């Protein structure tokens, strides 16, 4: 049995060497067929085939084909590179975290990676090796040119390639500097469903780069992001990435204006607070909090108008610790409105009881509602006392009333 496996491995190695030689030395037609063969063989063989093809030197000629005037050459090379780059880092993540002091990497869940066993090989050889080789071989400029194509198929294949390559932290600065981000934003509005998913995930990956996220993102992305969030399930992984991007936008004035001016922009964030996953609710409430903190007089009424209170109250009980803290802070800001516009205490009590009834059994609902209400009252008292102290401190001796 072992001899048979060894013989088969030798046959595969011989085939890999033959295809690589055709790609490197053949004419254009031979190169195109070799690129197609690489894609087929990588999909057919084990993960080792990716490393073996790279070791045979196929990546530089494939990258060169990306700039060919022949569209068939571009397409075959792009598909081959996509397959060489995918599924190339599964077992490398731990080693990367051990050897790199600081990184914040997000791995796409939209591209399906096989749970394949990788051999233990030296760090410098295997860590994101094909992804790094592809970028260092100069793939990003021709990929950016493909992102400009009117041909939707080419453009979305290029977006998928950018997504895959952006999973390797060392590649992110190069991709950001290339100007790919604005072109990915365009796909958010006009691409296919898969193209838009890939574009959102690629932008999310790039925003974890050490560069300022606002350098990566353009406020023009807000409207298509809000529209995508409207359409998707609020608890999905896609919603988590979308709300993360919207939270980043909420930290800039241009982003806040874009969220407000987008039809149902604030409402969509409020709905995500109500229906999202733990991650997406944390990002959504973070975005709303950024809006309110930036200009309370402008955003408080807009958020209240969209019915944010029930979702925020629920989040103070059911969210992550960070989300709970954000929700409580936002509730404080929302309650700080003109007396005639404050919600009546009986209405808040009713909301608190409804939330508690949904979270606990009937025998515990009253107790949970009481705890929620007491928390709101306590925070309101603390806020009022803080204002009194601030007012007293600002008075001059002549302004202090005599007893």
pLDDT of residue 191: 77
If phi > 0 it is left, if psi is from -120 to 50 it is alpha, else beta; for residue 128 that is: left
Distances (CA, A) of 267 to 32, 303, 308: 50, 8, 8
pLDDT band at 189 (very low <50, low <70, confident <90, very high): confident
Structure-block tokens of residue 199: 């574009």
- Residue 53: which of 30, 27, 28, 86 has the closest Cα? 86
pLDDT-wise least confident of 114-118, 126-130, 250-254: 114-118
**Dihedral angle computed from the Cα positions of residues 145, 151, 154 and 156, in that order, rounded to the nearest 10 degrees:** 100
89-100 per-position pLDDT tens digit = 443 333 333 233
pLDDT band at 86 (very low <50, low <70, confident <90, very high): confident
pLDDT of residue 198: 93
Which residue did the predictor score with more confidence, 135 or 10? 135
State what percent of residues in the chain have pLDDT above 90. Answer: 49
**Mean of the pLDDT values across residues 218-228?**
90
pLDDT of residue 267: 94
Q: Give residue for tokens 């009194």.
A: 388
Which residue did the predictor score with more confidence, 221 or 402? 221
CA atoms of 121 and 125, how far apart (whole Å): 7
pLDDT-wise least confident of 60-74, 201-215, 238-252, 293-307: 201-215
**Mean of the pLDDT values across residues 263-290?**
94
Q: Are 221 and 245 in contact (CB under 8 A)?
A: yes
**Mean of the pLDDT values across residues 374-401?**
52
Q: Give residue for tokens 């990002």.
A: 283
pLDDT of residue 161: 95
Please check the confidence at residue 39 and state whether its pLDDT lies above 90: yes
pLDDT band at 319 (very low <50, low <70, confident <90, very high): confident
**Phi/psi of residue 179, nearest 5 degrees:** 85, 20
- Residue 89: which of 101, 69, 107 has the closest Cα? 107
pLDDT of residue 222: 93
Which residue did the predictor score with more confidence, 326 or 377? 326
pLDDT of residue 369: 61
Structure-block tokens of residue 316: 């103070």
Please check the confidence at residue 160 and state whether its pLDDT lies above 80: yes
pLDDT band at 238 (very low <50, low <70, confident <90, very high): very high
Please check the confidence at residue 303 and state whether its pLDDT lies above 60: yes
> 60: which residues sit within 8 A by CB, 6+ positions away?
137
pLDDT-wise least confident of 1-5, 329-333, 338-342: 338-342
Question: What's the chain look like in SS3?
Answer: CHHHHHHHHHHHHHHHHHHHHHHHHCCHHHHHHHHHHHHHHHHHCCCHHHHHHHHCCCHHHHHHHCCCCCHHHHHHHHHHHHHHHCCCCCCHHHHHHHHCCCCCCCCCCCCCCCCCCCCCCCHHHHCCHHHHHHHHCCCHHHHHHHHCCCCHHHHHHHHHHHHHHCCCHHHHHHHHHCCHHHHHHHHHHHCCHHHHHHHHHHHHHHCCCCCCHHHHCCHHHHHHHHHHHHHCCCCCHHHHHHHHHHHHHCCCHHHHHHHHHCCCHHHHHHHHHHHCCHHHHHHHHHHHHHHHHHCHHHHHHHHHHCCCHHHHHHHHHHCCHHHHHHHHHHHHHHHCCCHHHCCCHHHHHHHHHHHHHHHCCHHHHHHHHHHHHHHHHHHHHHHHHHHHHHHHHHCCHHHCCCC
**Dihedral angle computed from the Cα positions of residues 286, 172, 218 and 204, in that order, rounded to the nearest 10 degrees:** -40
């Amino acid at each position: 049995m072992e001899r048979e496996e060894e013989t088969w491995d030798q046959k595969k190695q011989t085939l890999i060497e033959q295809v690589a030689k055709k790609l490197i030395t053949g004419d254009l037609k031979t190169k195109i067929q070799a690129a197609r063969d690489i894609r087929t063989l990588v999909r057919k063989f084990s993960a080792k085939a990716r490393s073996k093809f790279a070791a045979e030197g196929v990546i530089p000629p494939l990258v060169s084909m990306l700039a060919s005037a022949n569209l068939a050459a571009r397409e075959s090379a792009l598909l081959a590179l996509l397959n060489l780059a995918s599924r190339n880092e599964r077992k490398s993540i731990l080693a990367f975290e051990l050897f790199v002091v600081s990184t914040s990497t997000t791995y796409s869940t939209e591209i399906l990676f096989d749970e394949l066993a990788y051999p233990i090989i030296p760090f410098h050889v295997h860590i994101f090796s094909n992804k790094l080789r592809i970028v260092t071989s100069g793939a990003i400029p021709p990929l950016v040119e493909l992102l400009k194509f009117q041909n939707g198929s080419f453009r979305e294949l290029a977006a998928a390639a950018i997504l895959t390559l952006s999973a390797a932290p060392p590649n992110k600065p190069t991709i950001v500097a290339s100007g790919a981000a604005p072109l990915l934003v365009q796909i958010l509005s006009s691409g296919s469903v898969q193209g838009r998913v890939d574009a959102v995930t690629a932008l999310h990956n790039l925003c974890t780069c050490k560069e300022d996220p606002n350098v990566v993102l353009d406020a023009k992305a807000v409207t298509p992001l809000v529209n995508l969030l409207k359409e998707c399930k609020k608890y999905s992984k896609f919603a988590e990435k979308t709300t993360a991007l919207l939270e980043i936008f909420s930290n800039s004035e241009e982003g806040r204006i874009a969220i407000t001016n987008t039809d149902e922009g604030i409402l969509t964030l409020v709905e995500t607070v109500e229906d999202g996953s733990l991650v997406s609710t944390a990002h959504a409430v973070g975005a709303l909090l950024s809006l309110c903190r930036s200009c309370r007089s402008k955003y408080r009424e807009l958020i209240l108008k969209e019915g944010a209170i029930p979702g925020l109250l629920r989040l103070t009980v059911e969210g992550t610790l960070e989300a709970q803290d954000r929700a409580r802070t936002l509730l404080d800001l929302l309650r700080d409105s003109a007396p005639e516009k404050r919600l009546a205490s009986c209405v808040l009590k009713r909301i608190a009881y409804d939330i508690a009834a949904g979270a606990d059994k009937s025998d515990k609902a009253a107790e949970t509602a009481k705890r929620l209400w007491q928390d709101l009252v306590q925070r309101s008292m603390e806020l009022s006392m803080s204002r009194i102290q601030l007012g007293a401190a600002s008075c001059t001796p002549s302004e202090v009333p005599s007893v």
